[in-house]
Amino acid sequence: MSDTEPRTDGGTMTTTARLRRTLDQTTVEDAGLYVVLIFAAAFYLVPIESGLVTSFKTGTAIIETAPFAPPGASGLTFEKWQAAIDALLRGMGNSLLYAVPATVISAFVGSVTAYGLTIPTWKQSYKAVVLMLIIAGIFIPYQAVLVPLTQFWSQWVQLTQTLSFVWALGVPDDYAGIIELVITHVAYGIPICTLLFRTYYKTMSDEMIESARLDGATLRRVYRRIVLPLSGPMFAVVLIYQFTQIWNDLLFTLVLVSTESSPAAPVVLILAGLGTSLEGQDFALRMAGAFFAALPTLAVYIFFGEEFAEGVAA
């Protein structure tokens, strides 16, 4: 009904009305709404846009043109991108080296954990305790575990020594940091992955599972035959969320790999120190570096925006 009468205050639109609407019905108030929305969009895009144009500017163009204006023919340079890629490329490789395995492992482990805590029948009150402990793990400020983590990896599990046969093959022993990062990210990723999968498994129809159980199927087979094949959409969400989180994280890399000059330094660590020198800050280089480092997560976001939104909203 609401699509036939002129809208006075909005808010009454239903989904069907929304679908039926055409441009002819656009009122002055709608136009105002769009102006506000476009201004908001500009607010979110300008910092990114200004960074992008700046990354192509020469030193003089940075001073002479407005920060959000394109560089113009004389002020255009690709030199900074070249320099940024040179500086960051090895970091990209290192980041992939731990982000990909850590993402895949934590997603799988999260799925298994959530399954064990959702589908099988055991006392709800005990389940809730385990779940609470797991979910609280999402919200822990990582500062509270940093010093023990350093102790653990540097004094207790000394990968630089235990894996000496790997370093003997010519791999720099800094790469022990990459292995530490994988294990650390998996351990701290379990809570959020479990929560995401659990919200999904809770909505799964139990009829099929219950009858399969009654039929004598073990939990392992129910997981492999029924639950896992149906988990595809949620795996997309979790993989994307985890990849973005792990790729973007600085704190653990700072503590476990520590120096940006290390051959195993991840991209975020190099970027954090890029473009600062005694002469001042090279903003074009910083912006080019920022964009280059953000490329993987930007690509993921552009291609899988829906899944990303679902992951953060859960």
Partner 1 sequence: MLDFYRRLYRTIRPSSGDDEANPDDGGVRADGGVVTDGPAAEPPAEPDRDVTTRLKASLDRRFGSDFMESSVFWLPPFLLMGLFVYGAVIWNLLISLTDYQRFENAPDYSDLDFEMYTRALADSGFIDAAVNTLILLIAFTAGTLIVGLVLAILIDRGIRFENTFRTIYLLPMSLSFVVTAQFWLWIYNYNNGIANNLIGTFGLGPISWLGNQDIVLYAIIFALMWQFSGYAMVVYLAGLRAIPTEHYEAAKVDGASALKMYWRVIIPQLKGATISAAVVLMVFGMKAFDFLYSLVGGYRPPNGADILATKMVREAYANLNWAYGSAIAIVLFGMALSVIGPYLVYEYRRNNL
Touching partner 1, residues 85-114 (CB under 8 A): 109-110, 112-113
Give whichever of 21 and 173 is closer to partner 1, judged by the CB atom: 21
Does 135 bind partner 1 (CB under 8 A)? Our answer is yes
Contacts of 25 (CB under 8 A, 6+ apart): none
Considering only residues 93, 251, 259, 263, which one is a binding residue for partner 1 as defined by CB under 8 A?
251
117 is a contact residue toward partner 1 (CB under 8 A): yes
In three state form, how does the secondary structure of 111-176 look?
HHHHHHHHCCCCCHHHHHHHHHHHHHHHHCCCHHHHHHHHHHHHHHCCHHHHCHHHHHCCCCHHHH
- Out of 163, 228, 230, 294, the only residue in the binding site for partner 1 (CB under 8 A) is 294
Total residues contacting partner 1 by CB under 8 A comes to 125
How far is 92 from 191, CA to CA, in rounded Å? 26
Neighbours of 222 (CB within 10 A): 20
- What span, in angstroms and rounded, lies between the C-alpha atoms of 61 and 70? 9
If one asks whether residue 67 binds partner 1 (CB under 8 A), the answer comes out as: yes
* Cβ-proximal residues to 223 (8 Å cutoff; 6+ apart), any chain: 112, 115, 119
Interface stretch with partner 1, choices 85-93, 159-167, 170-178, 244-252 (CB under 8 A): 244-252
The nearest distance, CB 305 to partner 1, in angstroms, is 5
Identify which of 189, 194, 185, 140 has the alpha carbon closest to the alpha carbon of residue 314. 194
Which residue, among 76, 84, 46, 70, has the nearest Cα to 286 in the 3D structure?
84
> Contact with partner 1 (CB under 8 A): which of 54, 94, 231, 242?
54
Please name the residues in contact with 178: beta carbons below 8 A apart, sequence gap of 6 or more. 94, 97, 98, 257, 264
**157 touching partner 1, by CB under 8 A:** no
Tell the smallest beta-carbon distance from residue 117 to partner 1 (Å): 5
Under the binding rule (CB under 8 A), the answer on residue 172 touching partner 1 is no
Instruction: Please tell me whether residue 256 binds partner 1 under the rule CB under 8 A.
Output: no
Minimum distance from residue 227 beta carbon to partner 1 (Å)? 10
List binders of partner 1 among 189-228 (CB under 8 A): 190-191, 194, 207-208, 210-221, 223, 225-226
Q: Convert residues 18-37 into a mask of x (bound to partner 1 by CB under 8 A) and - (unbound).
A: x--x--------x--xx-xx
Minimum separation from the CB atom of position 173 to partner 1 (A): 19
Instruction: Pick the binder of partner 1 from 46, 164, 233, 259 (CB under 8 A).
Output: 46
Cα–Cα distance, 251 to 245 (Å, whole number): 12
Residue 303 touches partner 1, criterion: CB under 8 A: no
d(CA 226, CA 297): 32
Reading the block at residue 222, the tokens are: 């129910």
Pick one of 31, 41, 59, 78: the residue that binds partner 1 (CB under 8 A).
41
**Which range in 44-52, 73-81, 171-179, 230-238 contacts partner 1 by CB under 8 A?**
44-52
DSSP 246-288: HHH--HHHHHHT--TTSTT--HHHHHHTTTEETTEE-HHHHHH
The rounded distance, in Å, linking the Cα atoms of 204 and 209 is: 9
Binding-site member from 157, 187, 228, 236 for partner 1 (CB under 8 A): 187
Q: By CB under 8 A, is residue 279 in contact with partner 1? A: no
